[in-house]
Amino acid sequence: MDIRHAKRGRRALSAVAITTGLLFMAAGCGGGGGGDKPKASSSSAKQHADDGSQSQRSSESAAPEVVAEVKNGDITLAVTSAVRDQGGFVTVRGSVTNNGGQFWIASNWHGDERELSRNGASLAGASLVDSKGKKKYLVLRDTQGRCLCTKFNGGGVDAGKSADWFAQFPAPPEDTTQVDFAVGDMPPASIDLSQG
């Protein structure tokens, strides 16, 4: 009888220890005592993932402030931000809108380099041009040739829809505050660089 009671006691003690540990872990992973801090909404927390996937949205939905916009036929390219990061690169974000009646294929946006061909329909061919420093900056890529940019799901954008995009570049010198963003057959978009 004593052995049975001892085993039950150990099981109960183990269960209490495990439960307590789980509660402490949950509390540690929670917000961490900042009860007055506003929580990020799911839309603002949903940033572009590392795989470069992009979200499509209806053209009627609210869009962030546009800092530059260019058009080529039915396609509108908007730039919403161009931010210098502390790591020595610039992240440019925006959207592309297909105002036409057919699916738009981003075939000429992926760049001409052989290394970039594996990126498919993407912003791999985008560049920043520093007119002042007379230098062109290409999209950053990893050691396997994958661009640090958006890859369009399905190869483009549906008629009447928009898709968000991003592209990362090496940062121009600190005294360069304005650059031209160019991709494919779109006219260059003049953008101001902001500090992150």
Distance separating alpha carbons of residues 193 and 140, to the nearest angstrom: 17
Kindly state the average pLDDT of the residues 168-180: 93
50-195 fold: Immunoglobulin-like (2.60.40)
Q: Is the pLDDT of residue 27 over 70?
A: no
Q: Are strands 178-182 and 127-130 parallel, antiparallel or unpaired?
A: antiparallel
At residue 186 the predicted structure's pLDDT band, cuts being 50, 70 and 90, is: very high
**What are the boundaries of each domain within the chain?**
1-33, 50-195
Kindly state the average pLDDT of the residues 98-125: 81
pLDDT of residue 107: 76
For the segment 112-162, what is each residue's pLDDT rounded down to a tens digit?
777 766 777 888 889 999 998 899 999 998 888 888 998 888 888 999 999
For the segment 47-95, what is each residue's pLDDT rounded down to a tens digit?
443 444 444 444 445 657 888 999 999 999 999 999 998 889 999 999 9
Mean pLDDT of the chain, nearest integer: 75
pLDDT of residue 60: 47
C-beta separation of 173 from 156 below 8 A: no
For the segment 7-19, what is each residue's pLDDT rounded down to a tens digit?
555 555 454 445 4
CA-based angle 56:99:72, to the nearest 5?
110
Distance separating alpha carbons of residues 177 and 185, to the nearest angstrom: 24
Q: Is the pLDDT of residue 182 over 70?
A: yes
Residue type, 191: I
At residue 189 the predicted structure's pLDDT band, cuts being 50, 70 and 90, is: very high
E strand or H helix that includes residue 178? strand 178-182
Beta bridge partners of 190: 180
pLDDT of residue 63: 53
C-beta separation of 59 from 169 below 8 A: no
SS3 string of 111-144?
CCCHHHHHHCCECCCCEEEECCCCEEEECCECCC
